[in-house]
Structure 1
Amino acid sequence: MSAVKVGVTGAAGQIGYSILPMICSGQMLGADTKIDLALLDIPQCEDALRGVAMEISDSAFPLLNSLKYGSDPREILRDLDIIIFLGGFPRKAGMERKELLQKNMNIFKEQGTALNEVGKPTTLCLVVANPANTNCLVLAHHAPNIPRKNFTAMTRLDHNRASFQIANRVGALTVDVKNVAIWGNHSSTQYPDVNHGTVRGGAIRPAVNDDEWLNGDFISCVQKRGAAIIAARKLSSAMSAAKAAVDHVRDWYLGTKDGEWVSMAVLSDGSYGIDAGLCYSFPCTCVNREWHIVQGLDINEFSRDKMNLTKQELTEERDEAFSA
């Protein structure tokens, strides 16, 4: 089997430092898949990036077929099979959301333009850098040569967080929890939905037997988990974000398990009343490296209100990002 060409942007950052060993050790694409690794970061981070590359080399990963790194997106992003976009402008104290969106739009406009020139029609792109949904939309907009179905944003971290909260509540393992769903934005408006999920093979709601918790503290805990980690660690999520990105790509590239879905932010096709083209998280299955939105789920009034709230935020983000 030929090596899979994997690119990582923002590779000198803390999520990059966590994800690269996972990629090179086979956790993402399997223990028999060799990796051609391409690392991108901004010129100001080239020294740190070189140090990361030295550590990867020193780790002597058996699956690492080749390694290149640099700050030129037209060189580093050329002809890749998978790109994980970690690099973005972080929100700083006192920064308005519109300013953050504009700074990131400029980054993803530049990278999208480069990707449009040097990418392949089969290149799969995962955006992790926040605001992930809208960054993904901007990236896809500026890379029209690549099919829009090849662009996704990460809500798998929220999906994993929700699964843990349910497992912990009932004394189960996270592998016992199936088919929770994250709807909408990777933000505090996201809606973690358990109405169609199971734990130990039975429906989640009767297993938990506490609708007040499921409709209240559970939702807010998942929505605000990132902020809670920052408050405790004084840094944003890195290890768990890296693990979620690996999970996302593995299921997209290798396929989801029969009867199970995962949460992915994708460019909407109009399903569930979400405006076509909006980058919105849905429950998805994957086969042959393509995602498919799970259809036919019953949406109650409580869920619809939550889904519309996060849709409104994403619509405002999109309009703000493209207003300049």
Structure 2
Amino acid sequence: MAEPINVVVTGAAGQIAYSLLYQLAAGSVFGPEQKINLRLLDIPPMMEVLQGVVMELEDLALPLLGDVLPTADPAAAFKDAAAAFLVGAMPRKQGMERKDLLSANVKIFKVQGEALDKYARKDVKVLVVGNPANTNALICSHYAPSIPKENFTAMTRLDQNRAQAALAARIGVQVDKVQNVIIWGNHSSTQYPDASHAVVDLSGGVKAVPAVVNDDAWLNAQFVEMIQKRGAAVIAARKMSSAMSAAKAAGDHMRDWWIGTKPGKWVSMGVVSDGSYGIPKDVVFSFPVTITDQKFKIVQGLPISDFARSKLDVTAKELEEERAEANSVLQQ
């Protein structure tokens, strides 16, 4: 049994965390041999609710779960953290401009970035789930200069899972038969869900998804729009945002980062751009990546069509605008 690691979950009294915590404690993220200590961070008014969550974690009676600390103190939460799920963020409210949302979130992620910088392990893996996730991850890394920028990632795995499920349903196969669908760009309605490099495992062998679907008009229009707007569709139906599926995606993202991807398989992660595919540097952009020894590499050399290029440019422009807005808030 490996030495226990400290795992932080922020917004720990919220809905996404409620679904995420069981996965963490049961070993489905860090593996069946890895004991974890949970550090549950939330705001002071949520401490009573958090006590109830702690009781439930105790009542799970799971052998991999060490001690559990509920706290409103970032210093206590991030001490010696090996992994952090930054779920808590200011949600967008009706009538709120993106600048207002970024302004509120800059304050949250500044505090958390500074606490990570001061108290966490220098190899801590930080996954930002709270929206706007890409730019929140950028802000957080800015305030943790002693931690490498590649240790900060944003979640687009929910979008990847949605896209994979939609393609599997269209083709009529189990969801695990579809691989290598890509989410490019921002976790927003400008993201580009790209099936052009995806493959499907059929009884006759592995085939290219576009050839099997055989409907480029659907792949370039309805499919893209369905994934871009899926979060809004869930809110419209459920009157609340995605929680169970978001928690599953957060677990998937961190598990692959921790344990690695299978040969020939890539996954989508929001990472600090190094200029690959002509994307501006120093925005957090979702790319296809492979992961070995807890280090990700952007998949290189994929052909990008003119249609795809136009989509990548739109989502990159939005991320540059968000970065500029965040920087203007940081300088106030």
Short-chain TM bin: over 0.9
Quote the Cα distance in structure 1 between the aligned partners of 2:42 and 2:321: 29
CA RMSD of the aligned region, Å? 0.7
Deviation >3 Å, runs of 4+: none
Report how far residue 313 of structure 1 moved. 0.5
Residue 195 (structure 1) aligns with: 196
1:231-278, CA deviations, whole angstroms, 9 ceiling, x for partnerless residues?
Answer: 000000000000000000000000000000000000011101111111
**Where does structure 2 lack aligned partners over 5 or more consecutive residues?**
none
For the residue of structure 2 that corresponds to 1:323, the secondary structure is helix
Residue 268 (structure 1) aligns with: 273
Residue 289 (structure 2) aligns with: 284
Report how far residue 65 of structure 1 moved. 1.6
Residue 233 (structure 1) aligns with: 238
Q: Tell me if the contact between 1:111 and 1:139 (Cα under 8 Å) persists in the aligned partners.
A: yes
Residue 34 (structure 2) aligns with: 33
Once the two structures are superposed, the pairs formed by residues 1-324 of structure 1 within 5 Å of their partners are 1-200=2-201, 201-324=206-329
Quote the Cα distance in structure 2 between the aligned partners of 1:273 and 1:125: 25
Report how far residue 35 of structure 1 moved. 1.1
1:128-156, CA deviations, whole angstroms, 9 ceiling, x for partnerless residues?
Answer: 00000000000000000111110000000
Quote the Cα distance in structure 2 between the aligned partners of 1:115 and 1:121: 9
For the residue of structure 2 that corresponds to 1:152, the secondary structure is strand
For the residue of structure 2 that corresponds to 1:188, the secondary structure is coil
Report how far residue 33 of structure 1 moved. 1.6
Q: Which residue identity is paired with 2:149? A: R
For the residue of structure 2 that corresponds to 1:101, the secondary structure is helix
Equivalent residues, number: 324
* Structure 1 stretch displaced more, 184-193 or 65-74: 65-74
Report how far residue 227 of structure 1 moved. 0.1
Q: Which residue identity is paired with 1:90? A: P
**Where does structure 1 lack aligned partners over 5 or more consecutive residues?**
none
For the residue of structure 1 that corresponds to 2:251, the secondary structure is helix
Q: Which residue identity is paired with 1:302? A: F
Q: Tell me if the contact between 1:122 and 1:150 (Cα under 8 Å) persists in the aligned partners.
A: yes
Quote the Cα distance in structure 2 between the aligned partners of 1:183 and 1:88: 23
1:31-53, CA deviations, whole angstroms, 9 ceiling, x for partnerless residues?
Answer: 22211111100111111111111
Q: Tell me if the contact between 1:119 and 1:146 (Cα under 8 Å) persists in the aligned partners.
A: no
Quote the Cα distance in structure 1 between the aligned partners of 2:211 and 2:75: 53
Quote the Cα distance in structure 1 between the aligned partners of 2:294 and 2:5: 13
Quote the Cα distance in structure 2 between the aligned partners of 1:252 and 1:223: 24
Report how far residue 4 of structure 1 moved. 2.3
Q: Tell me if the contact between 1:115 and 1:143 (Cα under 8 Å) persists in the aligned partners.
A: yes
Quote the Cα distance in structure 2 between the aligned partners of 1:70 and 1:5: 14
Q: Which residue identity is paired with 2:251? A: V
Report the identity percentage. 54
For the residue of structure 2 that corresponds to 1:276, the secondary structure is coil
Quote the Cα distance in structure 1 between the aligned partners of 2:50 and 2:142: 28
Q: Which residue identity is paired with 1:113? A: E
Quote the Cα distance in structure 2 between the aligned partners of 1:30 and 1:114: 27
Quote the Cα distance in structure 2 between the aligned partners of 1:185 and 1:125: 17
